């Protein structure tokens, strides 16, 4: 990149926030799974939509590719520049203002660089609740959550980021600012633009701010860890829970016995809270606006009915906030725990609920066929049909050789998922990692429309190139 | 239209379903408010997506405009051809199959021509609940509900049609079939196409089928009719209801005293159920998955707290299913009742909840300025900030002269709405009626993106021309 161009970008954000020193840039180029190794000559850290607007105007004039980045927690390489080193990396971290918390209207206005956990805390302090919750909440940013249409553990009761968003502010690839910040739930004045940018992984424009819904705070929570025999039973149990708990069922996470055991080991628990081992485990949250009595009474009704009908084998109701917290820590520890067991090939899939048992049975055969002896670590947001169906290398196997099976394994598992008309990327997006899968599994008509939209909004192709399409 | 072209369309759907007899066509050209008087030489009644695909292929080849029509209950003329008589009218009524009801996955697959009430009934018979509910549910169709992103009375708890839809099947303007029927809640594989077609009022393609969410059936409902003093109080009451009822608050309708009185008169009630008159009324539903005890207990808690804090003046809890039904009939009767009082200028607006009292006060001044003596009939889905702010002619005034104030009144009320960053079309859409308003109030950047999308998907401009854009 020519020095003159770097100077022109520098003028927009100020010398301090236009970084060319590679030692300072490096942390922005490292990502969680270590799969992508991008390069960039220039990192920009703008502080406002107006600066981003100027950046995009200059980028358009000079056809400079721009890669926006939030908290850099994405798992598919969407936030990383490619290896050619021609893209400018644009960190959103300085757009970190919560512009408004409106209690009567039940919404907040937040900038893209606000860290999810900071937003959760501020909303909590205001007496309300912002439901989005995921393992990386301490560092991921709202802009990234929107661009990847983040899901997580609260989707069951509150929906994903798309459902939580009322409106957006976006800088378009040509630098124009789209002010589509809406404060009402109902607005049928023209095409829905918001949902184009949500989940587009920064390929259509840069989300700079959003209006997000907030909710009444639950007064109490009752949590049970449940042991059961099969995915079929887990499905029946979910159905029962929703019949008697409805919207009070705010979490329903499935864990295979291996996931559960790995999490116990990782948390250094010498023994399981259960007397016996079970094939499958469910972590269930029941939340109440009324208080403890209601939460525990509804939880009891559900557990009693499930035990009576032999849908579940055993259940432990958390007796303290500490124990509640511990149960969730176990669930959140699975990803980290898995790392200790060697290389893992990951899947982030969804299938219709009724197909989960069948999928789990058939996927196991594929795993054994592609990598005999590999260990299935299956867990996830069962209430949404969303499983992180991960495959850990056989004990003692060569990690590099095992990981070379990644594409093959993915492709076969994803083909199975598509047989059920499921999703081969349920919540992590496409990024760089799943572009081939998108071409293989998305309908040609859908791909064609996507390309048309991309061309309309980003005719020069400078907006996060090489991602999604 | 040339006879030869009519013949070619006729060959696709069969002689019986290609109608040129104007006496048979006329009912399709009459709409609720009698504002739009379209013409067409040909009405087609296809029976499948495949036939519609062939129709659109022929329409593309011959550049013939196509106007899709559902139950013909739209209020903005979106489903009506224009007066030039060059468009073919395409009725969706024969695509009326419910393709699947999937209880475990909690979804249904329905064709566009299914009547909303028929779907509600079938889902009810299956032991589940489909929440979309509106005054025209006996004749409106799912395709129209999707194309207009229908709202209604259940949005508060369940969301609008956009929120209820998992996936679509769409015939594009060039005749290609987009199969985007999805059966999972989480799918982040590429741009969101579904939401482009939802709310596009048939200008981007023809929705032929959809996957819609269904819900556990509520076991009991408690309903109260509440009298209160002011919109401020209604707002406080809503906040209180949601604090203690959360998702159990499944209806919260506001009615001004004039709306309420008109409805009582229309239903020929000699006296109000209340001992005293109130300035405002709220109809509130509390639904429970547990049963009557919970529903009535939560309703009591809310009413007691509201009475104690003097947020409400009086409340009548419906004592029987019959009385519950009657309370809702009153609410639903307002539109019909209003017709008997002469001409009305209608608004379908939304403002952020906190701004409702201020809006109501300021809008009254505008009404008095534009049409002195006109009567405000203000009612609507307060929980969503969505009011049908209608203005009935002064007693004894000339209806025609009064209705000539329509545009002027609309424009001033809508400008006020936009001052609050509200919506000038909350749930009815743009159609033909509000195209000028769209040009006035939508941001130029948003309009430009909309035009780009329209051009990408419908380059020949044959898809429901003259609507929205």
Residue B104: phi, psi to the nearest 5? -65, -40
- Determine the Cα–Cα distance for residues B469 and B467; give it in Å rounded to an integer: 6
Q: Which residue in the set A184, A200, A449 is minimally distant from B422, CB to CB?
A: A184
B221, pLDDT greater than 90: yes
pLDDT of residue B321: 94
**Token duo for residue A217:** 């705070």
Which chain A residues are Cβ-neighbours of B155 within 8 angstroms?
Answer: 185-186
Same domain as B315, residue B243:
yes
ipTM rounded to 2 decimals: 0.94
**Most B-contacting residue of A163, A170, A188 (CB-CB within 10 A), to test interface:** A188
Confidence class for position A1, pLDDT limits 50, 70, 90: confident
Q: Which residue in the set A162, A178, A424 is minimally distant from B446, CB to CB?
A: A178
Domain with A45 in it: 3-91
A277, pLDDT greater than 90: yes
A202, pLDDT greater than 90: yes
Instruction: Note the pLDDT tens digit of each residue in A7-66.
Output: 999 999 999 999 999 999 999 999 988 889 999 999 999 999 999 999 999 999 999 999
Domain for residue B450, yes or no? no
B299, pLDDT greater than 90: yes
pLDDT of residue A33: 82
Q: Which of B91, B107, B138 is the last residue of a domain?
A: B91
Are A192 and B235 inside 8 Å of each other by CB? no
Average pLDDT of chain A, as a whole number: 96
Task: State the sign of the Cα–Cα–Cα–Cα dihedral A311, A317, A321, A326.
Answer: negative
Chain-centre distance for alpha carbon B151: 5
pLDDT of residue B152: 87
3-class DSSP string for chain B: CCHHHHHHHHHHHCHHHEECCHHHHHHHHCCCCCCCCCCCCEEECCCCHHHHHHHHHHHHHHCCCEEEECCCCCCCCCCCCCCCCCCEEEECCCCCCEEEEECCCCEEEEECCCEHHHHHHHHHHCCEECCCECCCCCCCEHHHHHHCCCCECCHHHHCCHHHHEEEEEEECCCCCEEEECCCCCCCCCCCCCHHHHCCCCCCCCEEEEEEEECEECCCEEEEEEEEECCHHHHHHHHHHHHHHHHHHEEEEEEEEHHHHHHHHHHCCCCCCCCCCCCCEEEEEEEEECCCHHHHHHHHHHHHHHHHHCCCCCEEEECCCHHHHHHHHHHHHHHHHHHHHCCCEECCEEECCHHHHHHHHHHHHHHHHHHCCCCEEEEEEEHHHCEEEEEEECCCCCCHHHHHCCHHHHHHHHHHHHHHCCCECECCCCCCCCCHHHHHHHCCHHHHHHHHHHHHHHCCCCCECCCCCC
Confidence class for position A149, pLDDT limits 50, 70, 90: very high
**Most A-contacting residue of B126, B151, B191, B383 (CB-CB within 10 A), to test interface:** B191
- CATH classification of the domain holding A18: 3.30.43.10
Report the pLDDT averaged over residues B73-91.
Answer: 96
Quick check: A79 and A40 in contact, CB under 8 A? Answer: no
Structure-derived torsion over alpha carbons of residues B261, B266, B269, B270, reported in degrees to the nearest 10: 70
**Token duo for residue A230:** 């099969």
Are A424 and B189 inside 8 Å of each other by CB? yes
- Determine the Cα–Cα distance for residues B124 and B122; give it in Å rounded to an integer: 5
Same domain as B170, residue B143:
yes
Confidence class for position B238, pLDDT limits 50, 70, 90: very high
Which residue bears the tokens 């960039």? A40
CA distance B26 to chain A (A): 29
pLDDT of residue A246: 86
- Determine the Cα–Cα distance for residues A67 and A88; give it in Å rounded to an integer: 6
Q: Which residue in the set B384, B427, B468 is minimally distant from A190, CB to CB?
A: B468
Domain for residue B447, yes or no? no
pLDDT of residue A182: 92
**Token duo for residue A135:** 């393992």
- Determine the Cα–Cα distance for residues B11 and B6; give it in Å rounded to an integer: 9
Same domain as A348, residue A325:
no
Same domain as B329, residue B346:
no
Report the SS3 class of residue A8.
helix
Which chain A residues are Cβ-neighbours of B426 within 8 angstroms?
Answer: 184, 186-188
Confidence class for position A281, pLDDT limits 50, 70, 90: very high
CB–CB contacts below 8 A, A to B: 266
Report the pLDDT averaged over residues A286-297.
Answer: 92
Same domain as B400, residue B376:
yes
Instruction: Note the pLDDT tens digit of each residue in A247-266.
Output: 899 999 999 999 999 999 98
Instruction: Note the pLDDT tens digit of each residue in B363-380.
Output: 999 999 999 999 999 999
Confidence class for position B270, pLDDT limits 50, 70, 90: confident
Q: Would you tell me how many other CB atoms lie within 10 Å of the CB of residue A408? A: 13
Domain for residue A465, yes or no? no
- The DSSP call for residue A425 is B
Which residue bears the tokens 């609940």? B129
Same domain as A102, residue A61:
no
Residue A219's nearest CA partner among A287, A145, A309, A319 is: A287
Are B427 and A186 inside 8 Å of each other by CB? yes
- Determine the Cα–Cα distance for residues B46 and B52; give it in Å rounded to an integer: 6
Rg (CA), chain A: 23
Same domain as B357, residue B278:
no
- Determine the Cα–Cα distance for residues B118 and A372; give it in Å rounded to an integer: 52
Domain for residue B168, yes or no? yes
pTM of the model: 0.95
Residue B321 burial (C-beta neighbours within 10 Å; 0-12, 13-18, 19+): exposed
Domain for residue B374, yes or no? yes
pLDDT of residue A270: 79
Q: Which residue in the set B187, B423, B453 is minimally distant from A426, CB to CB?
A: B187
Report the pLDDT averaged over residues A324-348.
Answer: 93
Instruction: Note the pLDDT tens digit of each residue in A55-98.
Output: 999 999 999 999 999 999 999 999 999 999 999 999 999 999 99
Domain for residue B12, yes or no? yes
Instruction: Note the pLDDT tens digit of each residue in B415-443.
Output: 999 999 999 999 999 999 999 999 999 99
Domains in chain A, number: 4
Domain for residue B441, yes or no? no
Same domain as A205, residue A110:
yes
Q: Which of B46, B76, B91 is the last residue of a domain?
A: B91
pLDDT of residue A40: 98
Same domain as B329, residue B359:
no
Same domain as B329, residue B355:
no
Are A424 and B183 inside 8 Å of each other by CB? no
Domain for residue B456, yes or no? no
């Amino acid at each position: 990149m020519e020095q003159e161009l770097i100077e022109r970008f520098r003028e927009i954000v100020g010398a301090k926030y236009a970084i060319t020193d590679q030692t300072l840039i490096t942390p922005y180029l490292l990502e969680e799974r270590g799969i992508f190794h991008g390069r960039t000559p220039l990192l920009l850290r703008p502080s406002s939509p107006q600066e981003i607007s100027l950046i995009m105007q200059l980028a358009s004039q000079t056809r400079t590719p721009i890669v926006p980045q939030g908290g850099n927690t994405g798992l598919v390489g969407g936030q990383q520049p490619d290896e050619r080193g021609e893209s400018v990396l644009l960190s959103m971290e300085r757009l970190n203002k919560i512009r408004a918390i409106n209690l009567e209207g039940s919404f907040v206005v937040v900038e893209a660089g606000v860290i999810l956990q900071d937003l959760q805390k501020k909303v909590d302090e205001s007496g309300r609740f912002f439901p989005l919750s995921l393992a990386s909440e301490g560092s991921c940013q709202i802009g990234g959550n929107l661009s990847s249409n983040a899901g997580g553990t609260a989707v069951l009761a509150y929906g994903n980021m798309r459902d939580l968003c009322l409106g957006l502010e976006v800088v378009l690839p040509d630098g124009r600012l789209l002010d589509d910040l809406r404060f009402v739930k109902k607005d049928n004045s023209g095409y829905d633009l918001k949902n184009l940018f949500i989940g587009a992984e920064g390929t259509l424009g840069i989300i700079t701010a959003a209006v997000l819904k907030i909710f009444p705070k639950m007064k109490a929570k009752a949590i049970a860890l449940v042991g059961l025999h099969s995915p079929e039973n887990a499905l029946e149990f979910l159905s029962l829970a929703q019949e008697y708990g409805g919207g009070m069922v705010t979490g329903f996470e499935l864990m295979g016995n291996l996931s559960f055991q790995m999490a116990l080991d990782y948390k250094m628990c010498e023994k399981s809270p259960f007397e016996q081992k079970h094939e499958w485990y469910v972590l269930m949250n029941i939340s109440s606006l009324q208080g403890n009595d209601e939460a525990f009474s509804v939880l009891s009704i559900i557990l009693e009915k499930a035990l009576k009908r032999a849908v579940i084998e055993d259940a432990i109701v958390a007796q303290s906030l500490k124990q509640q917290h511990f149960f969730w820590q176990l669930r959140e520890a699975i990803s980290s725990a898995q790392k200790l067991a060697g290389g893992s090939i990951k899947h982030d899939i969804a299938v219709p609920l009724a197909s989960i048992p069948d999928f789990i049975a058939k996927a196991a055969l594929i795993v054994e066929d592609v990598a005999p002896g590999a260990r299935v670590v299956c867990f996830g947001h069962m209430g949404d049909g969303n499983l992180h169906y991960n495959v850990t290398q056989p004990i003692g196997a060569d990690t590099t050789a095992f990981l070379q099976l990644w594409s093959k394994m993915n492709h076969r598992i994803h083909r199975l998922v598509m047989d059920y008309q499921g999703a081969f990327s349920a919540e992590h997006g496409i990024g760089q990692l799943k572009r081939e899968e998108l071409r293989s599994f998305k309908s040609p008509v859908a791909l064609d429309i996507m390309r048309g939209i991309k061309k309309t909004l980003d005719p020069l192709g400078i907006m996060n190139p090489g991602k999604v399409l």
